[in-house]
Amino acid sequence: MFADDDMPKPKKLHEIGCDLTFLSAGDLDERITLLKNEIARLEADKAAKTSSRKAAENFFR
């Protein structure tokens, strides 16, 4: 029915290095929270992958 190009693209909530001049303090707080949550998600995934790798290394010793 619809081509992928016809679908609306979701708006980016934050782009690294973007101009922050016209953002309010509240907008900045929202972006800080968003980025902190993303950092926590990345660290959790990294920890899970590191744990899996260590378990595999110990198994094959």
Tell if the pTM clears 0.75, that is, is over it: no
pLDDT at 7: 77
Burial profile 15-50: b = 16 or more Cβ within 10 angstroms, e = fewer: eeeeeeeeeeeeeeeeeeeeeeeeeeeeeeeeeeee
Res. 53 pLDDT band, cuts 50 70 90:
confident
pLDDT in tens, 2-43: 566 777 777 778 889 999 999 999 999 999 999 999 999 999
pLDDT at 4: 66
**Residue 2: other Cβ atoms inside 10 A:** 6
Q: Is the pLDDT of residue 1 over 70?
A: no
pLDDT at 23: 93
